[in-house]
Structures are given as structure tokens and as C-alpha cells.
Structure 1
């Protein structure tokens, strides 16, 4: 059975900084990319030795246990997924339901898209190692509507979960379309989840495709992060963010020149840093010796404004180690501005604790700081910037 989502490539749109070959590619003698880098001065590489030191030997560690009182954690509610064939179903609403961490279900009319779906209780090799979920799932895979497409930001275990994909494939084998960064197709096919080659579409930064039925567009955009599920394959697959552009009213001929008022545009940051810093006390980029990542302003210029952005706010400490790959709430407020988002929701918190960040970051800090910084920047809380419960649906 072939995927029920038929897609065609979009004409490429590149920012002025784009080069040929792309600056984020490391190529072999045949000019084929074999690994990838963050090509900006905003990134600073950290080594496994530094990771071990920060995890086990730093004197600045400040481990705070997960609160036992559920009222101190993110509330969890049971989601309600509307029947798109119902006469009362809104025709032009884009709905984003938070599953937890960086997992969302997007719904537009009868089309259902999963972003970085993770329904496991533990994320790590063979689901035997790694962080465990400390808030409940709002629903199971079987509770979801039929899924048309899955977008993957990168291959880290808390964003690419083999048991979840196996359960999705078992429901309607061979019908889901998987969109991912370059090199990640081989990883998806090797997960043992039942995914077939014809279901996977690898994309480079700034590549785009359109769903023939309905005109929904998916654009692969940059992020500042890393990849690798095993030490011998670090940076061998491309990490990315995603844009989903849904036409209103429906049209198969929606294009880059279609007015923003006739589309619903969503930005999903996946996992990303914004600017490396030199001190654990630097929560934002303002005083950092490195310039901020330019990719987000480029995204805003090419594709903004966005009706909704899903931005990471957690697992951001210790800053001198994490800032290059994980945004602080301060950083993501700036990303909100760079991409010209009308409304941004914080994610990547309240679900799993990173093995390193758990030693430095209370699980209650990211949402508290997100609200504090938003209000300090004069943004209207709940309208321009906000949070949602796990299982809650944000509608734009």
C-alpha cells in the first residue's frame, strides 16, 4: 500500500546567505553530503568529555527533584479530536494539540500531522536507558485519528521514538508519509517499525513540498542543533525545523506569493539553540560574545508572519554547555520576534528531563521564566505568547 499523501516539490526559495554547495554540508569526493554542521558563529561545539564533566563533576550542579505534587507540574487533560466530516467542524482552523515535550498533533480539515511523536514512557536506546516521562500521556496512539504525515526534526531519542512509529504503522501499514532531514531516511527504515522506502521523503534546509490534495505545504528550515543516536554517527543526519502552510480557502494552487491572509502558517522549531554563551549565568544572547543565529530572521523574512509557533523553552541549563543547541526562554522570545510570530507556545519542557539539564534545571523553571520574560518584553501573555496544558488544543 502506498502513502495516501501525494506530494510534489516546491520551487526552491533561498535566503541571500545561501551558498552552493550549502555551507552546512560536509561532502565527500563526489560532492555528496556525509555529515552536517551548524555554519554560524552563533554555535560552539561541545565534546563528550565536557558532557561528562558537566554531568558528574561540576561543582555548580543543583539537582532539584521533580515535585511529587501534581499541581506543581504541567496539567494533563484528555484531548478531543473533532470529526472533520461533521457539519459543525470549522473549515479553516489549524489545530495543534500538545502531546508533551515536542510532540504535537496538527489538524487542518481532514488532514492529520504528527510532529516528533513520542508516546513511550522512556526515551533512549531500546527504551531501556534514558530519561523517563514524569507527566502522564494525554492519550494513546490508538486514540489518535488516522495520521497522514509525520514530520521529524532530528534523530535524538526524545524526538524520534521507534516504538511510537511502530504502533502508528501497525494501525494502517504503509499509508503514512514521513518527512525528515537529509540522511534520516536510512535511520527510519532501520528502526524495525515497518516503514517502507516509498513512505519517506528526505529534505534539505529550504526544500519544500506540497500535498497535491488540498495544497498544504511543508518547508524544511534550519535549526541550530546536532544529531546522532550512536557515537559513531554523530552529525550524519540533518536536523531541522518545519513550516506547515495551510491554504484558506482550500486550493491546490497555493503558492509562495499567496497572501498570508489566505493561509494558516505554523512554525515548529524542533530542538534548537540560538546563541552560544560563555557563562552559566547568561540566560539570553544579549551579552554573549557570539552573534545570534541568523537563520530565524531569514525564516521570518521568507515565510513570516506565522499564525502560530511552537518554540522550545526547557532543558536549557547549564547555559555555557547547552546554549548552542537548546534555547532558553529568553532566546525563544527573541526567536518569536525574529520569525514574526503572531502567537507562540512554549514546548520541550514538563515531560522529560535531560540527563545533564536535570542536574541544573528545576522542571518548574522553564514555564515560569517564559512568562516572566514575555511580560518583561511587553508581549501580551496568553495572546502573543503563552503555554498550554498537555492534551490541550491551540486553535488559530
Structure 2
């Protein structure tokens, strides 16, 4: 059973600057870092179909693309070896499974819960990120497992949705998760997103919580009583123990982006990122070990670049989004950040909504992340990126940007294979 408790929102200087109207009819990016001069339908058509547009950039052979590993479900279930810490598994693009730390063998003997909270972030398992399954951006890197295999092996407790774009909010995937896990799964999303989660996915409104920027919730997952060996629990005649609920705290945080599922609802639904903290392992009085913290950026930009060909020094003179320093000051430091690095070309057109590698290095510093992994690349691409961005470019630029910033590759900045699980001990 999943129980969501609302906590007091974090105070802000301008708490409703991103709202359009009161109550809000829509939302906006309230910072000088967002330039809305580009990005309309006519701009898209001009860039996409202009006479002098670049030639189509083919997807190279699989050997040149991001490696895909077979999912280690035993590791996800916490079986074998020492008790793991918080785990993060990449399914491609912006889809991640975040699992808060499991109990150690000693803690289990003392009656602690066996597993942590299983959280899916922006899950997309469809072949196309589109309103229809016969057209639209197509996946060129397979998922490391099927959705059925994942749901068969892992009890999903919580789904975080950063915004309503089809490459982050796949109705087919969300419907399948709900059908398999209802009513034992809860969905978190920005304001106004419940409407399509209900209409397109059939999710019960009681299992959806909408959040504004800086809203916080604590989520408890109450496990069923678990049979254990009588010898491991001397004095417990029934041979059972009721594990304590696993807890995680989620804060909805700002990003510079936009929303739309059609041409008629642009910016109607709020977009966001999430700060995730494992509350279960704040052991307090005994060890004083704080819970691990993960930042999931979803989709975001950092600044707006008005023309192509600017140097990094010239780009650094542009206004940057102040939200990330606020996130770092209020919620950092983070043990891990998942930051976008791809689908960001052409730069003068995409920069106000999509960060590139150099932008995300700045975000890494602003949010005070100890380690950041590049995402939003290597999986799917739309019409614009098919003409302007080689799919091998984002990881190369990510490493180049890290080295230019003096960050240690593999320690402070890195990449994951699709299907890889990273453990934060």
C-alpha cells in the first residue's frame, strides 16, 4: 500500500511567478534565461523543411551506439551479495528505475522491511514517442527488457512524470503499469497533468498527486507481513514480522521547458524535475547517516542562445536559469544527478528548452551534485535531431565538457549503458 503525505512547500521569493492567471490556466518560464522568440509551429516548419536544411544524418551501426545490457533482475531484487544501497537503472532516454536502499540482513532479522521504494521516472517502453503507433519518432535502441518482464520482477510503487511530452509520458506504458499494479502504485506529476492521466490511461484520481514547484511529499510503502524463519525470530511464535514502511521524500522542482500533447494545449500542464531523498536511511541517533539524494532533471534548458556559432565564452554571457542554484541551495548536495545532454540541435532553436552538455555541466555545479550521469540521448530522435545531430555526438561532448571543466570522468561525470544499474553505497 502506498500512502502519500503532503509536507509544507518550500518557501520562494516569487511563489507563483510561473503561473498564468489565478487559478492558473497555464504556466510559463518566468526567467530572463527563457527567450520565446523561437519555438512556435511556424519556426519548427521552417527549420524542418527549409530549402537549405542539412541532409538527414543516418543512425550508425549498433556497434557504434550506446551498449545495451541484459537487466540483472536478481540485483534489482537485492538477492545475493551484500545489501546494496540506493540503485539507479537506465532503460534509455529519460526512463530510470530508482530503488531506495534495502535492509541489511541484520536489519531484516530485527524486523526491518526487505526492500526500499521502487520508483519509475518518465517510463517509456513503446517503439514510438508519438500520439500514434504508426508514425512519429522511433526508438533505435531497444529497451533492455520488456515492460512485462520488469513488472513481473519489480513491484513498482511510485511513478514520477516530469512533463507530458510523448518521449517522457507514454500513455501505453503508463496504462500497462496501472493495469498491473493498481491500486498499489501512485503517480506524481505537475499541476494539471491528472486530466490526461485519467482520460488516456484510466488511472484512478485517488492514485494521482499533482504538485507545484517546491511542493513536497513523503511517500510510505507499507509492506505486507512477511514470513520469516522461526529460528531467526526467537520468541515470535507466529514466525512472522511486520516490516516498517519504506519511506522516500519527493520535492517537485522547477525546470526551464514547456508542455503539450497536442497543438491545442501548449503550456497548459506544468513541467518539473524531482529531488528524491531516501528517508528510510536517515538513521538518526545511531549512525547519523543521511539518506541518499538523487536529482532527476526530466527535460530542461539552462539558457537561450539566439544564434549559431557562439563560443562557449560568448554563451556564458547569456542569462542562465536561476532555479538550479536555488535547488542546490535548498536541497543539495545530491549524491547523483540525472541530466540531459542530447536532442539539443540546432542550438539557436533548441537551447531555450533543451540543455546541451556544457549547459548540464553548469547545472551539475549549480545543484551541487557529487556525480552526474548524462541522459536524454542514444535512444530516440525526432525530425529536427535527425537532420542536425549525430546520435554519437552527445556522449563525446559530455566528456569534452567535463574535461574542460576539470571534472573527473567516471567519478564526478559519467554515462551509463542501457540496462546498467548504478549502486550508491
Match of 1:19 among 3, 7, 14: 14
Q: If the length of structure 2 is used for normalisation, what is the TM-score? A: 0.85
Q: Distance in 1 between matches of 2:51 and 2:401?
A: 28
Please state how far the C-alpha of 1:284 moved relative to its aligned partner. Answer: 5.0
Stretch of structure 1 that moved more, 111-120 or 211-220: 211-220
Maintained 8 Å contact 1:276/1:288: no
CA change 1:107–1:89 in 2 (3 A) is farther
Q: Deviations over 1:310-336 (max 9, x none)?
A: 000000000110000000011001100
Please state how far the C-alpha of 1:170 moved relative to its aligned partner. Answer: 2.2
In the alignment, is residue 361 of structure 1 matched against residue 398 of structure 2? Answer: no
Match of 1:200 among 182, 203, 208: 208
Q: Distance in 2 between matches of 1:285 and 1:181?
A: 35
Match of 1:165 among 171, 174, 196: 174
Maintained 8 Å contact 1:284/1:331: no
CA change 1:379–1:58 in 2 (3 A) is farther
Maintained 8 Å contact 2:248/2:280: no
Match of 1:41 among 25, 32, 44: 32
Runs of 4+ in structure 1 displaced over 6 angstroms? none
Q: Deviations over 1:4-26 (max 9, x none)?
A: 210111122134xx325x00000
Match of 1:189 among 175, 191, 198: 198
Q: If the length of structure 1 is used for normalisation, what is the TM-score? A: 0.91
Match of 1:142 among 145, 148, 158: 148
Q: Distance in 1 between matches of 2:127 and 2:53?
A: 29
Match of 1:131 among 134, 137, 155: 137
SS at match of 1:126: coil
The aligned counterpart of 2:360 is: 332
Stretch of structure 1 that moved more, 168-177 or 116-125: 168-177
In the alignment, is residue 180 of structure 1 matched against residue 180 of structure 2? Answer: no
SS at match of 2:2: coil
CA change 1:60–1:377 in 2 (3 A) is farther
SS at match of 2:247: coil
Maintained 8 Å contact 2:2/2:186: yes
Q: Distance in 1 between matches of 2:314 and 2:279?
A: 37
1:296-307 matches, within 5 Å, as: 296-307=324-335
Match of 1:114 among 109, 117, 120: 120
Q: Deviations over 1:326-347 (max 9, x none)?
A: 0001100110010000000000
The aligned counterpart of 2:54 is: 61
Maintained 8 Å contact 2:211/2:252: yes
1:238-249 matches, within 5 Å, as: 238-247=270-279, 249=281
Q: Distance in 1 between matches of 2:77 and 2:142?
A: 27
1:356-395 matches, within 5 Å, as: 356-395=384-423
The aligned counterpart of 1:52 is: 45
Please state how far the C-alpha of 1:172 moved relative to its aligned partner. Answer: 2.5
Stretch of structure 1 that moved more, 344-353 or 163-172: 163-172
Q: Distance in 2 between matches of 1:330 and 1:217?
A: 30
The aligned counterpart of 1:294 is: 322
Please state how far the C-alpha of 1:194 moved relative to its aligned partner. Answer: 2.9
Q: Deviations over 1:146-168 (max 9, x none)?
A: 10000000000000001111221
Which structure has the larger Rg?
A: 2
Q: Distance in 2 between matches of 1:250 and 1:384?
A: 24
SS at match of 1:33: coil
The aligned counterpart of 2:223 is: none
Q: Deviations over 1:61-106 (max 9, x none)?
A: 2431000x21100000011133657474525x11110000000011
CA change 1:285–1:56 in 2 (3 A) is farther
Q: Deviations over 1:225-252 (max 9, x none)?
A: 010101110000000000100035356x
Gaps of 5+ in 1: none
Maintained 8 Å contact 1:156/1:227: yes
Name the count of aligned residue pairs: 379
In the alignment, is residue 96 of structure 1 matched against residue 84 of structure 2? Answer: no
Match of 1:313 among 330, 341, 360: 341
In the alignment, is residue 9 of structure 1 matched against residue 6 of structure 2? Answer: yes
Please state how far the C-alpha of 1:214 moved relative to its aligned partner. Answer: 2.8
Match of 2:163 among 130, 138, 154: 154
Please state how far the C-alpha of 1:287 moved relative to its aligned partner. Answer: 2.6
The aligned counterpart of 1:211 is: 219
